[in-house]
Amino acid sequence: MQAYLTATKIIDWQNANILQLSQQLATSNVNTTVKACFEWVRDNIYHSSDFQMNPVTCRASEVLQHKTGYCFAKSHLLAALLRANSIPTGFCCQRLSVFDHGAPYSLHGFNAVYLAEHGWYRLDARGNKPGVDAQFNPPQEQLAYGINFPEEIDCQHIFAKPLPEVVESLQSCTTWDEALHNLPDLERKDLAAYEEKRQIK
């Protein structure tokens, strides 16, 4: 589990502002703490394309500072808040239609958290809107999106670190619309390659 608790350059949970917020959201119960952190990121960090907000953030502390981020960036902040509370947290992805009518496709990022009574539980803090109603209600999973096209993928693996393709994509763009047209994408064979290299836990 140590890999899912580690502070990194992107998941910089030892940042003073992240530590302060994580302590404010902490309770004596793990599930209640997860719910509080999840709902805070879901509802208080504005999804970059939904709200057409700049800058494009990646590092967890940047997301908190600017209060905006794409799904991947929001998952980085949620992981940081949970790891700061000693709760193992990983990263998950789906491959989805960007505009919900087939190609183009891109990855969609969210989290998985380890709960003692349920094991790994996936949760999606991308931000709710009409047609999207992600909730924390273990053991029932309630993500933002389902799978609707043959080319879409619901990857079941739990990453200990954000995918390099995700980090590169976010850090190479400066505006929300540039990022929207350059979202990272991996096909099924590419995701399988990570498993073969044992880069996925």
Q: What is the tens place of the pLDDT at every residue in 137-173? A: 999 999 999 999 999 999 999 999 999 999 999 999 9
Name the pLDDT band for 200 (thresholds 50, 70, 90).
very low
**Whether residue 187 has pLDDT greater than 90:** no
Q: Is residue 29 part of a domain?
A: yes
Q: Is residue 133 part of a domain?
A: no
At 197 the pLDDT is 64
At 194 the pLDDT is 73
Q: Is residue 184 part of a domain?
A: yes
Q: What is the CATH number of the domain that holds 60?
A: 3.10.620
**Whether residue 198 has pLDDT greater than 70:** no
Q: Is the dihedral of CA 136, 45, 177, 79 positive or negative?
A: negative
Q: Is residue 132 part of a domain?
A: no
The parent domain of residue 14 ranges over 2-127+138-196
Q: Is residue 91 part of a domain?
A: yes
Q: Are 112 and 91 in contact (CB under 8 A)?
A: yes
Mean pLDDT of the chain: 95
Q: What is the DSSP string of the chain?
A: -GGGT---SSS-TTSHHHHHHHHHH--SSHHHHHHHHHHHHHHHSEEHHHHT--SPP-SHHHHHHHTEE-HHHHHHHHHHHHHHTT--EEEEEEEEESSSSSSSEEEEEEEEEEETTTEEEEE--S--BTTB--EEETTEEE-S----STT-EEEEEEESS--HHHHHHHHH--SHHHHHTT-----HHHHHHHHHTT---
pTM of the model: 0.95
Name the pLDDT band for 191 (thresholds 50, 70, 90).
confident
Q: Are 179 and 173 in contact (CB under 8 A)?
A: yes
Q: Is residue 76 part of a domain?
A: yes
**Whether residue 16 has pLDDT greater than 80:** yes
Q: Is residue 118 part of a domain?
A: yes
Q: How many domains does the chain contain in total?
A: 1
**Whether residue 199 has pLDDT greater than 90:** no
- Kindly report the number of other CB atoms within 10 A of residue 87's CB atom: 22
Q: Is residue 201 part of a domain?
A: no
